[in-house]
Structure 1
Amino acid sequence: MTRNWAARLREITIEGMRALVLENERLRVTVLADKGGDVVEFLHKPSDTDLVWLSPQGLRRPLPQQAADDVGAFLDHYEGGWQEVFPNGGAPSVYRGARLAQHGEVAGLPWSVEVLSDSPEEVAVRLAVRTRRLPYRVEKVFRIASGTAALELEGRVTNEAGVALHAMWGHHLVYGRPFLRPGARIRVPEGVTVIPHASSIDPLGRRAEELFVAPPEGAPSEIVYLTGFDHGWYEVLADIGVRVEWDADVMPYLWLWQEVGASKDWPWWGRAYVVGLEPFSSMPTDGLSTAVDNGTAMLLGPGESRTARLRAEVIT
């Protein structure tokens, strides 16, 4: 019989896709194994608040024959939620002859599932996938312990080639209503440096303490990058809050972007109120080849693995 108390684990189907529900007394997390290992629910049960933003277009199953060379490959099936991004971050890019799509490749692929723990004290599952255009294996373990309001994520990427390869690695975490609202505060460590994007509305950059307030509806779209984290963490504080911690030695950058109704054309059509706060190995959002050129891309030798942890906890 399926356990319905303490930590528990269920497998369900959403829009024909395999999904996993990790749950305890305080938190319910739904992960799409058949689509990138996306987190499509991060529900704080006591307040009935889902912290992830969900796109108005809803969830769409990626097509097997879908082209993987452009922006639409990601956005046509972007349901919101939280994605793993690897080995390309941001815009489509060509790396050593391989054409990589927006945030390609792993966010659009089905992942295998292995149950590691299923007890009242803890549930844990390992998802794994191999990229198709670059020879990488990617794994991530989702873990929830009884009595906590925290999701722990342990990631591992491995270069399976006999040559050194670059990559960008990040967590595409976005927040929206009903959790996020204008005036919500975003806290980061003191001393963090803000780096403007080339197309930023504020080319001189702003101090982090001034930048991190959720803007009013219709404010201009923007993206900046933060770096200088001794310890990777941020908090988003509204009626409840979330604290995210990660390995800043592996992901020294935090991408902050906002789309809060200013874009009236594709793909947002004025319907989004969303802020992204995304730990990343590299910058900017111009794709892997740019990150290689500016020296921020990860470099993995033949057979080399890199690991990184992330923890997201509801705070009240």
Structure 2
Amino acid sequence: MQIEQLTVNDWEVLRLSDDTVSLDVVPALGGTVTALRRRSDDASLLWSTPWGLRRRGAWSLPGSSEAQMVDTYPGGWQTLFPNGGDTAVVGGVEWGHHGEARLTWLDWAVDGEALVLTGRLVRSPFTLRKRFALEGGEVVLDETVHNVGGEAVELMWGSQLALGGDLVGPGSSVATSASTVHPDPRFSISTSYDDLMPWPRSHGQRTVVNLSRLPGPDADETRLAYLADFDTPTVTVRSPDRRVGLDLTWDESWPYLWYSMEAGGRHGFPWYSRGYFLALTPGTGWPAHGLHEARRASATTTWVQPDEERTTRVRLRVHPEPVR
């Protein structure tokens, strides 16, 4: 594995690469991965926001927790911890939309054939360690959280990948070993979290939708659903012509997956009918509306005891370029 140090809009960016893939990691932005590419043809697999990685120190207007999150969101691959979705007040302080880990400054070092990032959160009593390694076309991420406080903490934890580029298009396919799907009532009319359906069906905004096929960018559609009951925690996404593909696998300690598809359905801020991406988020709980809603709707929050350490693993395998 090679590591190249770059400067992008005043941010230090580390480019990890081997013979098959490269990824760009921003240590001072919680180890966010802003790019994942197949080296043989430079195919891009992640989605970037229209503003991308804004210049470091750029001004932001006051606003809601979600607005502040969007201001600092470049797209790509981020850790959601210790909260997922809407802000939650815990221990007397707001944890913010998608939590604090995605913004935490992480120091970095090279450990053999791996990049190791470490840092301390401020609004919750945790240290975070992220270890990236490249193994023959696979990106392996080991994440460790450690409760350094003297109290047990209730939380949510996940890893969100916003997929786009050459991977996502009209007719892209999604395959998974999940067997059940919960709709999100905020995006599915006349439903509740209890309206269970078999994969790949889910309640959409207007009718039942097939989650295994992606709509085009002008479909005027937003999907949000929660997958569960995996045989093996895995999802495969392929481009319409099947020339670009990605396998996502993760640790069984994360039993759920958020499936979020934006295809021009979000009017107004932040996408103004031009958002087009598939976000997949394996994690400890659901729905994507903050800690308190996860406790109320599904009882899927997680408790971490004082001095307890948890580690989980995510793997991404980029499919090789097909022989023509």
| TM-score, normalising length: structure 1 | 0.90
**1:105-162 Cα shifts (integer Å, max 9, x gaps):** 0112221102102xxxxx31111121111111111100013xx111000010111111
Which of 251, 259, 262 is 1:259 aligned to?
262
Q: Does 1:212 align with 2:207?
A: no
1:105-120 counterparts in 2 under 5 A? Answer: 105-117=100-112
Output the CA distance in 2 between the equivalents of 1:216 and 1:53: 15
Aligned length: 301
Residue 68 of structure 1: CA displacement? 9.7
Moved over 4 A (4+): 61-69
Q: Does 1:95 align with 2:90?
A: yes
SS of 2:102's partner is helix
Which of 172, 196, 212 is 2:183 aligned to?
196
**Partner of residue 184, structure 1:** 172
**Partner of residue 84, structure 1:** 79
**Partner of residue 268, structure 1:** 271
Output the CA distance in 1 between the equivalents of 2:71 and 2:159: 19
1:1-316 counterparts in 2 under 5 A? Answer: 7-61=1-55, 63=57, 70-117=65-112, 123-145=113-135, 148-189=136-177, 192-201=179-188, 203=191, 204=195, 206-209=197-200, 210-219=210-219, 220-238=221-239, 239-248=243-252, 250-293=253-296, 294-316=298-320
Residue 109 and residue 158 in structure 1: after superposition, are their counterparts in 2 closer, same or farther (change >3 A)?
Answer: same
**1:251-282 Cα shifts (integer Å, max 9, x gaps):** 11100011111223100112221011110111
**1:167-211 Cα shifts (integer Å, max 9, x gaps):** 11111101113321010110001x521011121326356532332
Output the CA distance in 2 between the equivalents of 1:180 and 1:216: 9
**Partner of residue 4, structure 1:** none
5+ long unaligned stretches in structure 2: 201-209
Counterpart residue identity of residue 311, structure 1: R
Output the CA distance in 2 between the equivalents of 1:63 and 1:103: 20
Residue 69 of structure 1: CA displacement? 6.8
**Partner of residue 3, structure 1:** none
Output the CA distance in 2 between the equivalents of 1:88 and 1:97: 14
SS of 1:73's partner is helix
Counterpart residue identity of residue 228, structure 2: T
Residue 61 of structure 1: CA displacement? 4.4
Residue 87 of structure 1: CA displacement? 0.4
* Contact preservation (8 Å) 2:167, 2:238: no
Residue 62 of structure 1: CA displacement? 5.8
**1:30-78 Cα shifts (integer Å, max 9, x gaps):** 1011112111111001122110001112211464997797112210121
Counterpart residue identity of residue 24, structure 1: D
SS of 1:137's partner is strand
Residue 74 and residue 62 in structure 1: after superposition, are their counterparts in 2 closer, same or farther (change >3 A)?
Answer: farther
Output the CA distance in 2 between the equivalents of 1:64 and 1:131: 22
Counterpart residue identity of residue 280, structure 1: G
5+ long unaligned stretches in structure 1: 1-6, 118-122
| TM-score, normalising length: structure 2 | 0.88
Residue 211 and residue 111 in structure 1: after superposition, are their counterparts in 2 closer, same or farther (change >3 A)?
Answer: same
Q: Once superposed, what is the RMSD of the aligned Cα atoms?
A: 1.9
Output the CA distance in 2 between the equivalents of 1:287 and 1:230: 27
Residue 230 of structure 1: CA displacement? 3.4
SS of 1:71's partner is helix
